[in-house]
Structure 1
C-alpha cells in the first residue's frame, strides 16, 4: 500500500486548506501548500547546519506553529524527532546527552543558548529563504523515502510513576493507523479537525498528517485556549480525552441552567455549530458522559489503544456499540487469555522494545515476537466489539478470596456531578477505600456522601466502599496526581493520602 508519510513528504498538498494555530493571545493561519514549502526550507537550513538523516532533534515546547514546522521538516530530512512534554522534562544540556540529540528547540527561555539548545522562535527565521537565494521558492533537501520499519519519532509514555519510557515509532504503524481512521471517518474537504493536547503526543500530530494527505483543515490550540478556539473556528471534529469532555459537560449544564437555553443550544455555543462527531480515548469514558453528548446531538466515539500499540479499536458511524471501545482495526489482533487479559499483536508494530527504560521493562511489556501485554482485562462479543473491564492490577483480591474489579465501582461514583475522579484502594485486603477528587472546592460533602450510599446500595457486600477520602487539593496535572492525558496516577495518590486511607477515624464513612 502507498505510504502516507512518503506521500506527504514527496508532494505538496492541493491548495484550498489550511492549518490554524489558536493561542490566547492570537491566531496564525497558513495554507497547507505554504506549510509544506516552509517546512522544506527549514529542512534545508537544518541540513546546512549539519543535521543529517538519522540524527535526532528534540522539541520541548507548548503547541505552536514552530512545533509543526520542525516536525514536518524532520520528516523531509529523514531526521528523528523527540517530543518532550513541558513540565516533565527540563530543557538543558543533560537532555541533549541523555537522548543523543543534535539540537533541542525549546520555549523555556532560560535554557536557550546553552550548547545545542535553541529558542523555538528561531525556527521562523531559519525557515525564511537563505539570503543568497534569489528565487522566492527554495528547494528542500534531497528526497527521502521511508520503509515501514523506519523510525520518524521518539515518543514517551505518559507513565504514572518514574521516568517516562521512550518508544521509537515506526512509519508502518503511523501509516496503518492513519489509513484505518480515514476508512472509518472519511475526513474530507469540509472538515476541520481540532487538536489541543500536546503535540509531543504523536497521535495529535496524526491529524496534521491527515490534513496534508486527505485535504481538510486542521486547527491546533492549547488546553487553556480550547474553548475559546472552538467558538472561534467552529470545527467539525474535536479530539479530546474524557476529562476534557467532563469539563465541557459541566460548562454546558451551567450555561443551560443560567440562561434558560436548551442543553443542545448550550452545546452548540460551546463547540460551534458544525460538529460532525467527537473523538475520545486514552482513558475510560463513563457511560453517562457518552449518553449526555449523544443527547445534545454531539455523538462521541470511544476507542482503545496504548502508546505501545497505537489505536487498536474504535467505535465509528455505522459500527458503534455503547459500552464497547469498538471493533478491532484491520492489522491489529487482540488476544485474550482465559482470565480475559488482553495482548495485542500488530501487522505493523509501533516497536518491539523500549528505547529508554529500566532493565526488564521492555521484556515485561513486549513478548518475544513483539506482542504487547496491555495489562487490561476485557472480552470481545459475538459481533467483534471489544469491551474493557479494567486493569489487571485494578482487580483487588480480598482476604476471603473474592475478586473485585474496581473500575465499575469507580465509574459509579464518578457518575455524580460533584465527583471528578475516584480511585479505589483496598485496606488490609478486607475494606475498600475511595479517594475522590471533588468537581469543585469546597467539596460538597453531603452530595458525595449521598453518592456513596447510592453506589453501595447497588453493590454486593464485598464490593461496597467502606469510606471516602476527599482529595484536597483536587487532582491536577500540575499537582502530579493526573497524567497529561488526565488519568489518575494511582501510586502517587496512594502515597499522598496514605494517612487518610489508613486512619479509620478520617473520611466519610458508609
Structure 2
C-alpha cells in the first residue's frame, strides 16, 4: 500500500517547545487566554481611508479586540444563534472579517465562508446548503445578492453589514450595521455578563467550527467540515514551529509583524489567523491586491504568506526593473540571479539556514561562492529585500506549487520562501519545514501529521487537521476519507529517505499521450515560470494527443517594459505586443530552454501566446488564483485544435 511512512513527528522537540498534544479545545480558548495574558499588546493593524489615495493605519490591542469579539458573540446570541449553527461571511480581507469570525467562534457557532466574488446563484446555494442563520456582508453589493434570493433563504434571519448600505435595504430590520450588532451584544452582556465565557468553556473540540466551500473547477462547490480541533491544532503547530528556531530562539515571537492580504474565505488565510493568536504577534490586515507592493514597503513586515502567483509577479517586476536600467545593469542582475540560486542549492544541501541566518549559510559554502554572494548582495539583493519592506524574516507559499528557480532566487537573496502543503480538507497546513527547508520540496509532516504514498503515487494524509467530511455529502466523503482516518488528497508525490515530500502533480490533471506516456503538466509549467521572467501563466495540453502543446500568457508590466526597448514594438498595446512575432521568438527561446531538460514525450512541440492573462472575471481562475484547466481548454478549444492541425493523432 505504501512506499514510505515517516514517524508522526518529524521535528525534534524539547521541554521548551509547546506540544501540539496539549492544545486547548478551540481557538476561542486561545483567544481569551491571549487577551488575559497580553491585553495591552498590539493585536491588529488596519487601514482606514483618509483621502482619495491615502490610508491612516490604526490599531486594536488584544484587550480592545477581545471586547469587540465578545460584543459580536453576544450579539449573535441575542439574534438567536446557537452552538454549531452557521453564520456566513461574504467579504474581502479586512479587520472586520477577523473580528466577525472570532465572534462567531466565541458564540459556539460555525463560520461559513463566501468569497466576495461569488455570483448570486452560488452565494444563494452556499447559504442554503449550509443553513446559515446570519450573514456578515461587506457592503451593499453583497447585500443585494442575498436580497435578490431572500425568498429562497428562509433560515437567513439577519444580515450584518461592515459598510453603510442604503436605508431602504434595512426598512424591516433584516439588515443591520456591525455597530448595531455590537450594541445588541453589549446589552446582552449587561444581562448575562458571563454568557460568552461560559459558551467558550462548553465548546467541544469536535464541534463544527467552519464550513469552507471549495471553489472546484466543475459542479457545485462542496462544504468542507472543519471542527474546532482542526484550527486549534493549526494554531499550536504554528506556535511549535515559531518556538523551534535556531538555538531554541523564537523565529518571530510576539514582537513580529505579519502582513495578511490573503482571501480569508480560503483555508490558507484563515490558518494565519489561528497561528497569530497562538504566537501573539501583530497582524496587519488589508486585502486590496493593488496595495500589496506599497503596503510591504510601508509596514516592513517580518512575515507574509502568499500564493505563488504573487512571488512570480514580484520576481518579474524586479527583473523588468533591472532590464529597464540598461544592458549592463541587466547583465549584473542575471549574474546575481544565478549566484542566488547556486548559493541556495549549496547552502541547503549543507543544512544551512537562509534569510535572517544567511551568515550561517556563508560559513558552509565554498569561499569563492560566499565572496560572489556578498558582492551580489551589495549590488542586487538589498534591493530585493527592500521590495518586501527590508525586515522580512521569510515568506510562506501555498495553494499551488512554486517554481523552484523562483524560490531559490528569493531564498538566496535573503527572502526565504518556504513552501507548505495542505488543502482545504486539511485546514490548509499539513507539511512544512522551517529548519533545513529545501526549495522544491514542501518539507516534512508537521508534528502530529502522518504522510504516506499509495501504490498509485497518491499522497495520503492523517492527523487532527483533517476534515470530518463534506457537508451533506456522505458518498463523496467516503470516496476520499477512509474509516481509519487516511485522507486521499488527489495529489501525486514522492517522499525522500529522510521524509521530505515533493508534490509532482494532480491525479486528475495527469496527461497520458496517445503514445501511452504520462506527463505531469504542473512540473513543466513550474519549470517554464522559473525560466521565463515574462511568464504570467501557462497551461500544458496533451491528453490523448501525440505531443504536448501549451497556452502561454505574459506578465503585462514585464513584457511591456521589454517592448518599450524594442523599436518594432514601442508604442503598441499589450495585446499587440503579445501577438507580435518578436514576442513569439522571445518566448520560443524560453520554451526551448525548458525542453532541453525534459524527456522527449514531455517537450512542448507547439505553443500559442495569448493576448491577455487568465482572470477571475472570465471564470478562468479560482479566487485563490489557481487556473481552471477545464474552463481554459473549453474557452480556447479552437486555438488548441489549431496547434495539432496537420498531424495525425494516434
Task: Verify same fold: TM over 0.5.
Answer: yes
Aligned-residue offset at 1:133: 9.2
**1:372 and 2:487 are equivalent in the alignment:** yes
Higher relative contact order (CA 8 A, sep 6+): 2
CA RMSD of aligned residues (A): 2.7
Q: Deviations over 1:390-446 (max 9, x none)?
A: 122333222332222333222222220122221111164312111112222332222
Q: Kindly indicate whether the alpha-carbon contact (under 8 Å) linking 2:87 and 2:135 is maintained by their aligned counterparts in 1.
A: yes
Partner of residue 395 from structure 2, selected from 244, 259, 278: 278
Specify the structure having the higher radius of gyration (Cα): 2
Partner of residue 18 from structure 1, selected from 43, 47, 50: 43
Q: Kindly indicate whether the alpha-carbon contact (under 8 Å) linking 2:72 and 2:100 is maintained by their aligned counterparts in 1.
A: yes
**1:42 and 2:72 are equivalent in the alignment:** yes
Alpha-carbon distance in structure 2 between the residues aligned to 1:194 and 1:172: 25
Q: Secondary structure at the match of 1:376?
A: strand
Alpha-carbon distance in structure 2 between the residues aligned to 1:394 and 1:134: 53
2:277 paired residue number: 212
Q: Deviations over 1:169-197 (max 9, x none)?
A: 11222122222222223341221111101
Aligned-residue offset at 1:476: 1.7
1:430 paired residue number: 546
**1:2 and 2:119 are equivalent in the alignment:** no
Q: Deviations over 1:280-331 (max 9, x none)?
A: 1110001111111112211111111111123121121x23123211011122
Q: Secondary structure at the match of 2:273?
A: helix
Aligned-residue offset at 1:363: 3.0
Q: Kindly indicate whether the alpha-carbon contact (under 8 Å) linking 1:93 and 1:117 is maintained by their aligned counterparts in 2.
A: no
> Structure 1 residues 182, 71: CA separation in 2 closer, same or farther (over 3 Å shift)?
same
1:225 paired residue number: 291
2:238 paired residue number: 181
1:298 paired residue number: 415
Partner of residue 103 from structure 2, selected from 50, 68, 73: 73
Aligned-residue offset at 1:254: 3.5
**How many equivalent residue pairs?**
503
Choose 472-481 or 84-93, whichever is displaced more: 84-93
> Structure 1 residues 206, 22: CA separation in 2 closer, same or farther (over 3 Å shift)?
farther
Q: Kindly indicate whether the alpha-carbon contact (under 8 Å) linking 2:78 and 2:184 is maintained by their aligned counterparts in 1.
A: no
Partner of residue 352 from structure 1, selected from 450, 456, 468: 468
Q: TM-score, normalised by structure 2?
A: 0.72
Name the structure with the higher helix share: 2
Alpha-carbon distance in structure 1 between the residues aligned to 2:415 and 2:239: 20
Alpha-carbon distance in structure 1 between the residues aligned to 2:142 and 2:515: 56
Q: Kindly indicate whether the alpha-carbon contact (under 8 Å) linking 1:283 and 1:485 is maintained by their aligned counterparts in 2.
A: no
Q: Kindly indicate whether the alpha-carbon contact (under 8 Å) linking 1:57 and 1:101 is maintained by their aligned counterparts in 2.
A: yes
> Structure 1 residues 427, 166: CA separation in 2 closer, same or farther (over 3 Å shift)?
closer
Gaps of 5+ in 2: 1-21, 151-157, 164-176, 244-251, 330-377, 557-573
Aligned-residue offset at 1:138: 7.0
Partner of residue 59 from structure 2, selected from 26, 29, 54: 29
Q: Kindly indicate whether the alpha-carbon contact (under 8 Å) linking 2:450 and 2:461 is maintained by their aligned counterparts in 1.
A: yes
Partner of residue 119 from structure 1, selected from 161, 170, 174: 161
Q: Kindly indicate whether the alpha-carbon contact (under 8 Å) linking 2:271 and 2:429 is maintained by their aligned counterparts in 1.
A: no
**1:501 and 2:626 are equivalent in the alignment:** no
> Structure 1 residues 184, 89: CA separation in 2 closer, same or farther (over 3 Å shift)?
same
Q: Deviations over 1:428-482 (max 9, x none)?
A: 4312111112222332222111122222333332222121122332112232212
Q: TM-score, normalised by structure 1?
A: 0.91
Q: Kindly indicate whether the alpha-carbon contact (under 8 Å) linking 1:22 and 1:229 is maintained by their aligned counterparts in 2.
A: no
Name the structure with the higher strand share: 1
Q: Kindly indicate whether the alpha-carbon contact (under 8 Å) linking 1:18 and 1:216 is maintained by their aligned counterparts in 2.
A: yes
Q: Kindly indicate whether the alpha-carbon contact (under 8 Å) linking 2:512 and 2:544 is maintained by their aligned counterparts in 1.
A: no
Aligned-residue offset at 1:23: 6.4
Alpha-carbon distance in structure 1 between the residues aligned to 2:180 and 2:96: 10
Partner of residue 452 from structure 2, selected from 299, 310, 335: 335
2:500 paired residue number: 385
Alpha-carbon distance in structure 2 between the residues aligned to 1:151 and 1:450: 52
